[in-house]
Amino acid sequence: PKTAFYVLQINLRLILVSGKTKEFLFSPNDSAADIAKHVYDNWPMDWEEEQVSSPNILRLIYQGRFLHGNVTLGALKLPFGKTTVMHLVARETLPEPNSQGQRNREKTGESNCCVIL
């Protein structure tokens, strides 16, 4: 088959709080933690003012929700061949789900509101 060596990639446009953007290509197997590490290791020149001290504090926000480190792009069912926009913020801790097995998307926890200005 023709697709044997073709790897599907997901184009992410990451937006900083400052409004600066940069596009990166990732595979569906990449997790939020992998993405944070890659962006940290390949920090864009024009993002110099926003440079962070560690990849561990970089957080991705997709459709208003923080992505936990182990969630993969494939699990989010992101479209191939289109650009997906995510916000990239520096934040020490994430709001934890009430229970690990909880998959209810309506329940977002107590107060993990995030205002992006």
Q: Is residue 112 part of a domain?
A: no
Q: Is residue 101 part of a domain?
A: no
Q: pLDDT tens-digit profile of 45-97? A: 999 999 999 999 999 999 999 999 999 999 999 988 899 999 999 987 766 66
pLDDT confidence of residue 94: 65
Do residues 114 and 63 touch, judged by C-beta distance below 8 A? no
Q: pLDDT tens-digit profile of 37-49? A: 999 999 999 999 9
First-to-final CA distance of the chain: 48
Number of separate domains in the chain: 1
How many CA atoms within 13 Å lie on the side-chain side of 78? 27
Q: Domain of residue 60: give its range.
A: 2-90
CATH of the domain at 57: 3.10.20.90
